[in-house]
Amino acid sequence: MEEDFKPGEPVIEVRDLYKSFGDLHVLQGVDLTVTKGENMVVLGRSGTGKSVLIKIMIGLLKQDRGDCLVLGKEVSKLDGNDLRDLRLKIGFSFQNSALYDSMTVRENLEFPLVRNIKDLTRAEINEQVESVLDAVGLLQTINQVPAELSGGQRKRIGIARTLILKPEVMLYDEPTAGLDPITCLEINELINEVKEKYQTTSIIITHDLTCARETGDRIAMLLDGKFLKTGTFEEVFDTDEERIKSFYDYNFIQ
């Protein structure tokens, strides 16, 4: 039976999560709760396991120990159709967009749609594709191939591709990485628009403090495999903790 989450109820729960790659201990007892309709930003330096955390949430990686519940289901225990059903409710925006480069923008967007929702007419497919492209402001690129798009456009199309299945949860992996400051602001706005329009619960992985401040309802600071501090932007950075302060100073001085 489908669970219906109300605002304030936990949609994502991570408890005492551990993940290692050989001798590299990436996550060492991570705890995190994200409630319905919340934008949670996971901040941290490169290589601290932020992406690993959301890849565990969508079942691309498996934790060594601990629990990871998304929409009430322990992801590591799902397989086959159960995992597929859960993935239909989760949108994952990749750091490098991961657009299918042999397909046009239209085909990229149609690809998950026609394979997951049966008996759609051509008119319905076109309507949905155009609707999400319009939502990300790139309707004019519909017949272009990814190689013809800019970095920011590729990010937007990547987000559009996840939105076409109307997910309940959005996972953004470094949405502003490698983009110029203006495009970063546009992506931040888009993340907030997606939250409003599609009523999503989101986790945004980033090391960009502007992105964190603009998009996050709460922020969790990941350092040395654990969350050092969780709270609003002001709560997290109003601290004497040297490592958090240096992260803040470095980001804004840069």
Q: Which two tokens stand for residue 42?
A: 């996971």
Out of 2, 4, 6, 22, point to the residue binding another protein (CB under 8 A).
22
Q: Which amino acid is at 40?
A: M
Which residue, 145, 30, 165, 36, is CA-closest to 93?
165
Check binding of 237 to another protein (CB under 8 A): no
Least distance between another protein and beta carbon 98 (Å): 4
Q: Which is nearer to another protein, 6 or 115 (CB)?
A: 115
Q: Which helix (H) or strand (E) holds 252?
A: helix 242-253
Considering only residues 83-112, where is the footprint of another protein by CB under 8 A?
Answer: 84-85, 87-88, 90, 92, 94-96, 98-101, 111-112
Size of the site for another protein (CB under 8 A): 24
Q: Say how many Å lie between the first and final Cα of the chain, rounded.
A: 50
Query: Would you count residue 21 as binding another protein (CB under 8 A)?
Result: yes
What stretches of 64-121 show up as alpha helix (H) in DSSP? 80-88, 105-116
78 backbone φψ class: left, alpha, beta (φ>0; ψ -120 to 50): beta
In what side-by-side order are the strands of the sheet with 73-74? 24-35, 10-21, 65-70, 73-74
Minimum distance from residue 85 beta carbon to another protein (Å): 8
- Is residue 58 within 8 A of residue 92, CB to CB? The reply is yes
For the chain, the 3-state helix, strand and coil shares in percent, each to the nearest 5, are 40, 25, 35
Q: Is 252 in the site for another protein (CB under 8 A)?
A: no
Q: Does 8 bind another protein (CB under 8 A)?
A: no
CB of 237 to another protein, least distance (A): 32
Q: Is 172 in the site for another protein (CB under 8 A)?
A: no
Minimum gap (Å) between residue 76 Cβ and another protein: 15
Out of 2, 115, 182, 242, the residue judged to bind another protein by CB under 8 A: 115
Contact between 56 and another protein (CB under 8 A)? no
Nearer to another protein, 44 or 91 (CB): 91
Please state the φ and ψ torsions of residue 136, each to the nearest 5 degrees.
-95, 5
Binding site for another protein (CB under 8 A): 21-22, 58, 60, 84-85, 87-88, 90, 92, 94-96, 98-101, 111-112, 115-116, 161-162, 165
